[in-house]
Structure 1
Amino acid sequence: MVSKSDSSFISGQKIPKKMDLLLKAAMEESFPHMLRFFYKDADLLFDMERGFEYMDKELLEIYPERLSRGGTRLADVLVKVFMKDGAFQWFLLHLEIQGKYSSGFPFRMFEYYYRLVDRFKVPVIAFAIFSGAENQQFSDTYHSSLLGTGLAYRYQGYQIFQHSAGELLAMDNPFALVVLAAQKAHLENKVSEAALGKERLMIFKAMLATGKYDAAQMLSFLGFLKQIIYIKDPEINHQFDLEIDNLKQGENNMGRLWDAVSEFMREEALINARIELQGPAGDEIRKEMVKELQTKMLKAAYDRMWKEHEERNEALVREEFLRELTTEKKNVVKKKLMDEYVSKMSAILATL
């Protein structure tokens, strides 16, 4: 699936860092891998091919207070997840990302739970991802008891430093690398920017090595890295871009789509140079230019892929069964292939 991340994440331009919101976008991008991170048998349990339904509107309806308690209230996600088999077809997964723990947090998780169950009458599982420093305190249970009556509601709590950097890298899982990036973000102002640059490049290379993200997803992850591990030094950023450009010839060749990433990096640098001369007033112009560039790069890449696919398909048709098809049937085959291509492109462009 393609990320719902805001296109401004692609930019190297500093935006006010709200780690919870950055993580929300990146975790939506890596959601299937998040399930695999927490459930070893995820591919047997969940219907990954069917996809996932994000229910932001429904989340707001059952908890309208989320808009009135500050920006961190937006760092929650509600997803409809389909099962492969079992007593029920689907369930709801509620995910909240919390940077600063508060004593009222467990009750809020319980509020979400009982409102969701009351509204949808389906099973609900809940995760709380705590994105604070290594010594962050957190709770995974809400308790209430009085005069012999009580309850204990337990949700799945995970603190981003629960696994070491080595353990996360060994998992070969995109979600694990999102967690690792969140860990490294806490090094800002504690180590040199040169050291941060090495960490950022290491994580990007690790994501590329998984082979589990296409170029559109790599573009999104690249923007996430630039924001969550932010570096001011233009020379370090330039070197980072050069390193990424060189990676396209590496072992994990992503073909035409990876070329789009490299071309995007070069064009983005030109945009940065032009808009920098306009000062703060050019920020909105720059965002639109970057968004338009991303769309153009991906469309061009898919156009090239489609042309190559069509040529291969024509050769196959000729060799295998072209002689057996009437002209009408040939047109049906071609239309079906084009519909699949248009559907794929629409899904990508709708997220930009």
Structure 2
Amino acid sequence: MNQTTANYDEPWKEALSEYFEAFLYFFFPEVHQLIDWTKIPESLEKELKRITASAKTKKRFADKLYKVWLLRGEEVWILIHIEIQSQYEENFPQRMYIYNYRAFDLYQKPVISLAILGDERVNWRPDSYNYTIAGCEVSLKFPTVKLLDYEENWSELEASSNPFAIIVMAHLKTKATTGKLPQREQWKWKLIRGLYEKEFEREQIIKLFEIIDNMMTLSPELQSSLESKIKQFEEERTMPLISNMELRGIERGKEIGALENARDFVKKVLENRLGDIPGDIGQCLNDASVISVLEEMLKAALIVNSFEECRKSFSIIINK
């Protein structure tokens, strides 16, 4: 069987975007408790690109930059690096330092640098960068988390309701099954099945499913086998993750070519899931004149749990 290349970067970035607060709570609780979570963190993608473009290192893996506010009212930036590579990278501490000082140099904001080490070297644990010359000393110390350490606390990961407990398990088992795709398929199925047992919101289950599915890549044959297991499992449940009607809706939503049919189908999904459609939401659908917009509305209609959530989702879609 040909080896299938695992995908780490995109799932981790997606997880950070969806669950930033849960990320800090799980990995860096000391940082989490300093932040005023009544103020919504801001993702600074444009600023991050400028910081990494200014760096001179060969690798540029700064993954996420957020603006947050501390409980004492101070604005700070949090720069998160996730190092996935299996090989030893001598310049990693230097890269942490460069991104930190570039962020401060360009924007004059205090920066908290955090690192996740997802590699397989047990003893590689960089947590500082410094040099001294002619009485001048430069130093940066940064908190790090080694994902391998969680192997010893597997039962705690399984019991945790934090999304990153599941993501860590997926990461570790993806690493452990490199070149062993049948075993990866078994672990992937176990983790996906475990999603149903957690007390997550339905939308969160779907998002975590997508993250696991993207990370734990399989051969087409094994992926097909996994999907058959999922289908059979859902058929045995009284409330499947995505009902047959909704699955048909997704497929039909990809095929419809007429605006009116698209509008009618989104309305039908909402009526089946939530009841009579309020006038403002119906008007919002009637005003949509682009198929791609209606397809986004269909996706939203399949996961929202109330018309209030529907209004917010439709507003975001329309104003993109």
TM-score in terms of structure 2 length: 0.70
Instruction: Summarize the alignment of residues 243-322 of structure 1 with structure 2, pairs less than 5 Å apart.
Output: 243=232, 245-246=234-235, 249=238, 258-259=241-242, 289=254, 304=272, 306-307=274-275
Tell me which amino acid in the other structure corresponds to 2:194.
A
**2:132 partner amino acid:** S
Query: Is 2:318 aligned against 1:345?
Result: no
Q: CA deviation at 1:60?
A: 1.0
What's the offset of the Cα at 1:120? Answer: 3.0
State the alpha-carbon separation in 1 of the partners of residues 95 and 111 from structure 2: 15
CA contact (8 A) 2:80 2:115 kept: yes
Distance 2:121 2:248 in 1: 37
Alpha-carbon distance change, 77 to 192 in structure 1, aligned in 2, over 3 angstroms: closer
Give a deviation string over 1:94-152, Cα, whole Å, max 9, x none: 11111224111111111111122233333311111122225372411111112332132
Amino acid at match of 2:206: L
| 1:155 matches 2:142 | yes
- Any unmatched runs of 5+ in structure 2? 279-305
Closer, same or farther: CA 266–212 of 1 in aligned 2, 3 Å: same
Match of 2:50 among 49, 61, 68: 61
* Deviation (angstroms), 1:187: 2.8
Q: Report deviation, 1:188.
A: 2.9
Give me the CA root mean square deviation.
Answer: 4.1
After superposition, the Cα gap between the structure-2 partners of 1:190 and 1:107, relative to the gap in structure 1 and judged at 3 Å, is same
Unaligned runs of 5+ in 1: 1-13, 272-287, 311-336
Note if 1:167 corresponds to 2:156: yes
Structure 1 contact 75–96 (Cα < 8 Å) conserved: yes
Partner SS state of residue 137, structure 1: coil
Q: Which amino acid aligns with 2:25?
A: R
DSSP-derived class of the 1:46 partner: coil
CA drift at 1:304: 4.9
Aligned to 1:19: 8
Residues 49 and 266 (structure 1 numbering): CA distance in 2 closer, same or farther, change over 3 Å?
farther
Change in Cα spacing, 1:192 to 1:99, as seen in structure 2 (3 Å) is: closer
Residue 77 in 1 paired to residue 64 in 2?
Answer: yes
Asked if structure 2 preserves the Cα contact closer than 8 Å seen for 1:241 and 1:265, the reply is no
Map 1:197-276 to 2 at 5 A: 197-215=185-203, 217-232=204-219, 233-234=221-222, 235-243=224-232, 245-246=234-235, 249=238, 258-259=241-242
Cα 1:58/1:22, change in 2 over 3 Å? same
Give 2:172's aligned residue: 183
Residues 288-332 of structure 1 show CA distances to partners (whole Å, capped at 9, x for unaligned) of: 959x9xx9999875565553696xxxxxxxxxxxxxxxxxxxxxx
Distance change in 2, residues 1:229/1:17 (3 Å): closer
Asked if residue 114 in structure 1 is aligned to residue 101 in structure 2, the reply is yes
Give yes or no for the alignment of 1:145 onto 2:132: yes
Q: Which moved more, 1:178-187 or 1:341-350?
A: 341-350
**Bigger RCO (CA 8 Å, 6+ sep):** 1
Asked if 2 retains the 8 angstrom alpha-carbon contact of 1:299 and 1:345, the reply is no
C-alpha change, 1:218 and 1:340, in structure 2 (3 Å) is: closer
> Given residue 33 of structure 1, which amino acid in structure 2 is its aligned partner?
A
Alignment CA distance shift 1:167-1:66 (3 Å): farther
Q: Give the equivalent residue in structure 2 for 1:284.
A: none
Q: Count matched residues.
A: 280
Give the direction of change, closer, same or farther, for the CA distance of 1:212–1:94 in structure 2 (3 Å limit): farther
| Residues 149 and 134 (structure 1), Cα distance of their counterparts in 2 relative to 1, 3 Å cut | closer
Aligned-pair identity (%): 20
Which of 56, 65, 76 is matched with 1:91 structurally? 76
- What TM-score, normalized to structure 1? 0.65
Deviations 1:234-260 (CA, angstroms, capped at 9, x unpaired): 55223333155247636xx8xxxx436
Deviation at 1:59, TM superposition (A): 0.8
Pick closer, same or farther for the CA change 1:309–1:105 going to 2, 3 Å: same
